[in-house]
Amino acid sequence: MKQKEKLVLASASPRRKSLLEMMGLECNIVPSDIDESECERESAEFLSLELSRRKLEAVRSKIKSDVQRYSYLSADTVVSLDGEIFGKPDNFEHARAMLAKLSGKTHQVHTGFRLENVKGEFVEESVCTDVTFASLSSGDIDDYVRTKEPMDKAGAYGIQGIGGGYILRISGSYTNVVGLPVYEVLKAMKQIGVIVES
């Protein structure tokens, strides 16, 4: 694939950058630094889309250039169980509480993304994947939290890391759970001409 313009990733997530690089796409990371607590939590789908919009808008306002052309991609991942939304844990106890609730149950992972090309045309979508956790003992939870892996991840786990050992099954996009639904993002890029097949 050949890029038509420079891609700016409005996210501090190294996992999203790695997923794009796996697809042969280079990007510049520009963190948005938005206050995520200010968003309404109407639903996980709504929140994932609203946060991705706000991230993109914040980063677009940071970048001013009359020379280079930029396209923008933002994303936000939200975990939910029975209507309760799980963001990133505030501390170790919060992480333990989240994992105890997810233990032995099937929850949903929503990643909302927004893609804009240089003309301002955009595509946005929220993709949902069902994830089933194994039953975790308190010892399992303590051992996992001690690794510190849960602390910067929605739902307090990383499927691509140690946390993957606690997952029984998933239904839907794996990369969506990692943090970026690659298939849907590539489809959106083709739809609005951010990239073309070589």
User: Any catalytic annotation for residue 143?
Assistant: no
Q: How far apart are CA 75 and CA 15, in angstroms?
A: 11
Asked whether 190 and 145 are in contact (CB, 8 A), the reply is: no
Long-range CB contact pairs, 153-157, < 8 A, 24+: 153/88, 154/77, 154/78, 154/79, 154/86, 154/87, 154/88, 154/109, 155/79, 155/86, 155/98, 155/102, 155/107, 155/109, 156/86, 156/88, 156/89, 156/94, 156/95, 156/98, 156/99, 156/102, 157/99, 157/102
Q: What does residue 163 show for φ and ψ, rounded to 5 degrees? A: -60, -25
Of 14, 69, 81, the closest CA to residue 43 belongs to 81
Q: Which of the following is catalytic: 66, 76, 82, 142?
A: 76
Residue keyed to tokens 């020379």:
67
Residue keyed to tokens 């501390």:
91
Active-site residues, by number, are 76
